Structure 1
């Protein structure tokens, strides 16, 4: 900052102090402008990277969806053909061959479940559909019905306790969330539960409805709870089928409906998996 004059002693000490203060303020303004310019440039680059990442994710999800969908047809054919062989040969089928065919059918069903999870994972990443008011209780009942045979085989009771209020969401997603939580409760019920049961209830306020799926299973240690909703997380406490996608699908779907999910659990006592959805305004 320069001041010039042809007059001798034209500037007083006050003038010099004012000039000094102006210089400091201008220097600060220049630095701030430089920081703002760099920040704007960084934000522009971040937006570009974010758009590229979203495009890559969409391409990856589309690829995963296509591959998983295309795998279902031959897999279904394998299971049906194995069943047809058993039905057509009946008494003439050697026991050893029948055992092999049972194994083929069981493996094809297991693989079909894994493919379904991959398909749901691809669907749950992007949904631009507007949230609608969902009748949740029928969705809970449908989810329980899916596992009726498994519940009976493991002697587990499944009950709906009290009123189940409506909430904003996607109907099929809500059902799939409950189905994953019920399936998880069955898998980790354990063998020593005195009264194996699953209870589904809801608590509502002016803004959210909290849906709970409580089991009397083995429970989960606190250090394991933090990573439960991550992809491919498996707990080694019991032997269970699956690839560890169920709870990550729950978290992604609930988040996609504007809610949140979590767990309260005590080892050897049981767990309560919960998720919250918005109530209608």
Structure 2
């Protein structure tokens, strides 16, 4: 059968139109899913912020109570300082809580109840301190022994715990919605991609079939015109040109399927440029003589600019949404600032920052010296080792005081290994890998936390060019080994 160019064009255009429609539908769905994802992400971030301010408020009240108890037991002013610091921080913490829950009026009564109970607790703390300072230590101790302060503290924990539950529920719903949206995006992209691939394969099959017909026709011509060299040469040249046209046409079709959005944006710019010429034409006095002048002018001056503006606004908004989502995920990727750090002085500073907690628990921090000096980012190192020490105190064993040992176990060429060892409750074998996963926690959930600490630590260590490993025995303690380069390797 001789090839039919018109049929080829119709078939190819049909496949191209189907592929373009699939791409357009994919773009619309992506725009909608991006909008949903942005809204869900904002809700998750708000819930995390609410959880953070609640944690800080509870920690500050606990610090105030700890300082009060230490001062009443020892009478030393150094225990009064944490109390005074916490008292000065409570009002800002309360303001942060109110601001975080401002858009949730249904939580208003609960927040007011927390505020009221904290005021009562602060009054009880101030009363005991005042009595102790007036020389009435027995009266102050009687107030403590009355368990009124303990009851208030328990009530504060319960109220904040209930607020935690509401926030955690919103977090879970947001994360689940994100998972659903991501699954929908994957499924729709897979379906659309499969459809586009099928249309491309259909177009290629049509072109291949047409090419085969051309080759067959060329062979027939050669057989029928063996003695007519000039005619054969002419037909061969025609076939060559036809093949080249088919190849160029196949390239154009595949290019259009891969980059429709680029073409839309380019054509939009061309339409705007052409529109200026048409708008200038409508100002010609002779143009108004036409019967359809008013309708044409309305279309040129109003309808077309609005349509073009909608296309450009939509593409720009979609681009803006994608950039906004990328910006949210990149938040926290701070530019590292290399500086020379003496690890001995650095760990002394880390120990000083938690010494009051260690002392109140009857424990100690042992820093084995000498320690090397490295080039690193101080803030990142403070977050890494501050988190490890904080976990050692938070998850200490209930039957013994905490002992934290920080030592340098090796100094290999170009790297140092630092171990943070504790005698806490340890981590079970089944949980040793999951503790580094985001939002995953191990053991009894009797401490406040979001399950992001160790995941953040591992990310920071790897960004510094190092690695972190862990060994642990349940009921005996945990050891984290942090391997850091001697010279900071800033990874893009």
Give the TM-score category using the shorter length.
0.5 to 0.7
Find the aligned partners of 1:133 and 1:179 in 2 and give their Cα distance: 19
Deviations 1:220-273 (A, max 9, x none): 233211111112222224733322222122112222222221202233332111
Are 2:451 and 1:244 aligned? yes
Find the aligned partners of 1:133 and 1:105 in 2 and give their Cα distance: 44
Q: Mark the CA change 1:102 to 1:130 in structure 2 (over 3 Å): closer, same or farther.
A: same
Are 2:405 and 1:199 aligned? yes
Q: CA deviation at 1:155?
A: 2.4
Tell me, yes or no, if the aligned pair for 1:168 and 1:257 is still in contact at 8 Å: no
Tell me, yes or no, if the aligned pair for 1:124 and 1:249 is still in contact at 8 Å: no
Deviations 1:143-191 (A, max 9, x none): 2223223222332221001222222322122122212111211233313
Larger displacement relative to structure 2 (86-95 or 198-207): 86-95
Find 1:102's aligned residue among 153, 162, 165. Answer: 153
User: What is the RMSD computed on CA atoms of the aligned residues?
Assistant: 4.4
Question: Match for residue 159 of structure 1?
Answer: 366
Question: Match for residue 85 of structure 1?
Answer: 123
Q: Mark the CA change 1:97 to 1:196 in structure 2 (over 3 Å): closer, same or farther.
A: closer
Question: Match for residue 433 of structure 2?
Answer: 226
Question: Match for residue 75 of structure 1?
Answer: 94
Question: Match for residue 189 of structure 1?
Answer: 396
Find the aligned partners of 2:49 and 2:444 in 1 and give their Cα distance: 32
Find the aligned partners of 2:154 and 2:467 in 1 and give their Cα distance: 39
Find the aligned partners of 1:170 and 1:206 in 2 and give their Cα distance: 20
Q: Which has the higher helix share?
A: 2
Larger displacement relative to structure 2 (208-217 or 233-242): 233-242
SS in 2 for 1:228: helix
Q: Which has the higher strand share?
A: 1
Q: TM-score, normalised by structure 1?
A: 0.60
Question: Match for residue 39 of structure 1?
Answer: none
SS in 1 for 2:438: coil
Trace 1:41-80 onto structure 2 (pairs within 5 A).
67=49, 73-75=92-94
Find the aligned partners of 1:65 and 1:169 in 2 and give their Cα distance: 33
Find the aligned partners of 1:155 and 1:96 in 2 and give their Cα distance: 23
Tell me, yes or no, if the aligned pair for 1:217 and 1:269 is still in contact at 8 Å: yes
In structure 1, runs of 5+ residues without a counterpart are 1-51, 112-121
Q: Mark the CA change 1:162 to 1:137 in structure 2 (over 3 Å): closer, same or farther.
A: closer
In structure 2, runs of 5+ residues without a counterpart are 1-33, 57-91, 97-114, 129-138, 164-328
Trace 1:161-176 onto structure 2 (pairs within 5 A).
161-176=368-383
**Which structure would you say has the larger Rg?**
2
